[in-house]
Each structure stands twice: as C-alpha cells, then as structure tokens.
Amino acid sequence: GAGVSQTPSNKVTEKGKYVELRCDPISGHTALYWYRQSLGQGPEFLIYFQGTGAADDSGLPNDRFFAVRPEGSVSTLKIQRTERGDSAVYLCASSTRDSPDTQYFGPGTRLTVL
Amino acid sequence: AQSVTQLGSHVSVSEGALVLLRCNYSSSVPPYLFWYVQYPNQGLQLLLKYTSAATLVEGINGFEAEFKKSETSFHLTKPSAHMSDAAEYFCAVSGGSGNTPLVFGKGTRLSVIA
C-alpha cells in the first residue's frame, strides 16, 4: 500500500520567507510525527500529533515553527521568517494505534534557506 | 530522558565479512530500541526493534541485534556483508510502549568493499 508521502521533495527559499511542508501519513494511522535531520546528524524530534491535537510539541525549536493537523490526517509544518540554520531534511512519520511503537517514515523534504 | 551513542561515524567492511555496528543507550525507563537504515535520498526504513520480549532480535535483510541491559548496548550485526548493505544506519531509543518520540543516534555510515 501507499507509504507516508511528503511534499515538496525539495524546497529552496530565501532568508525571511515563510514555508509550508506537507505530510500525508499512511491511511488509518492515528499518530503523526515530525523530525528534523541536519547534515551529518540523526533525526531530531519536533512535534507529535495524536489525531488532530498536538500531544507533544517539546521539540519545536522556537515560535517560528508551528504545525497543524486539522482533520487528523494530513499535517502541515509551517516555518515563519526562515533562517539559514533551518536548512535540513524534514521527516514525517506515522504509526497505528495497535502498534504505536513502530513509526513509518516518509522520504522527507529537503529545505534550503539561502 | 533517553539518549543514544553510536560508536564510529563510518565503518568499512569487505563483502562477505561480519558487520558490527555499535549502539549504547541511556534511558530512565525500560527502553524500546530500534535500528533504522537510510539509503541515499530515501526515508528511514525499520530494520528491527526490541520491545522487552526476546533479547536477541532478528530483523530484515539478515540483520540481528542483541539487547544487553548490563552493558546498555544494542549492537547490530550481520554475518556476511553484501554490497547492497551500504547505507546509513541509525540506532534509536524510545521511552517504552505507546506513542513516544524516538531519540536517534548520529548514525553510522557503512561502506562495503568488493
């Protein structure tokens, strides 16, 4: 079946601009996670949704980052006033209620802030 | 709190040789442990997971890992390396059952020499 999809696959923007990154989880998966992977590092947790609500947003680095999941399926990660340090691969993962410990990852969105 | 240390950012083995990728963890609660593989320009794929059952875990593609509580280790092994095993490998820990974020190590890049 279809896996986690993320769009766009690549995004280049200028410092100070606003960007939106989209994640479409596996159908029926109730939990959705966002991670950020900087060059040469492992993924770092940003935020986790259970259904429509953010259950844990402790990984968001500052208030320029925000994420929504209005209908409990697709999620959008929003970054305001982008900075060069925001350049990274943003990964999305989803999991089921029956097997919550197993997260399935999408291919990621590579964000480059010039 | 949880953390993971992967010893060796780059490991090189000959085709047919033993693969050993090291992972040590720290966790304040009984951990769940994972190994993921990442091929170039692709998302993370789950190799195997430990969730407090058998300490020796078998995964896909001939990989296995052993949970050793006394050593706080979860090393990944494969008896005979194949060229297709060349990739980035990440060890991760979570705080047990339920939907909890993964904490990743920095990754180990495996090269396989013909």
Q: Of A31, A42, A91, which has the smallest distance from its Cβ to B105's Cβ? A: A42
Strand partners, A79: A19, A65
Q: Chain B: which residues have CB within 8 Å of chain A?
A: 4, 9, 32, 36, 41-46, 49, 51, 90, 92, 94, 97-107
| Residue type at B83 in one-letter notation | M
**CB contact set of B112 (below 8 Å; sequence gap of 6+):** B12, B13, B14, B15, B81, B82, B83, B85, B86
Q: Does residue B99 surpass a pLDDT of 80?
A: no
pLDDT tens digit sequence for A56-85 = 999 999 999 999 999 989 999 999 999 999
- For residue A14, give the DSSP letter: -
Residue A35: strand, helix, or coil: strand
In tens, the pLDDT along B52-98 reads 778 899 999 999 999 999 999 999 999 999 999 999 999 999 876 66
State the average pLDDT over residues B36-65.
91
Q: Would you say residue A16 has pLDDT above 80?
A: yes
The residue in chain A having the minimum alpha-carbon distance to the alpha carbon of residue B107 is: A42
**A33 contacts B42? CB cut-off 8 A:** no
pLDDT > 90? residue B29: no
In B1-114, where does DSSP find H-type helix?
A: none
Residue B83: exposure state from Cβ atoms within 10 A (0-12, 13-18, ≥19): exposed
Query: How far is the alpha carbon of A101 from chain B, nearest alpha carbon, in Å?
Result: 6
Q: Which long-range contacts (CB under 8 A, 24 or more apart) does B26-29 make?
A: B26/B1, B26/B2, B26/B72, B27/B1, B27/B2, B27/B3, B27/B93, B27/B95, B28/B1, B28/B2, B28/B95, B29/B95, B29/B96
pLDDT band at A27 (very low <50, low <70, confident <90, very high): very high
pLDDT for position B97: 64
CB spacing of B106 vs A41 below 8 angstroms: yes
- Per-residue confidence (pLDDT) for residue B40, from 0 to 100: 84
Preceding omega of A107 cis (within 30 degrees of 0): no
How close B7 gets to chain A, by Cα (Å)? Answer: 13
pLDDT at B98: 67
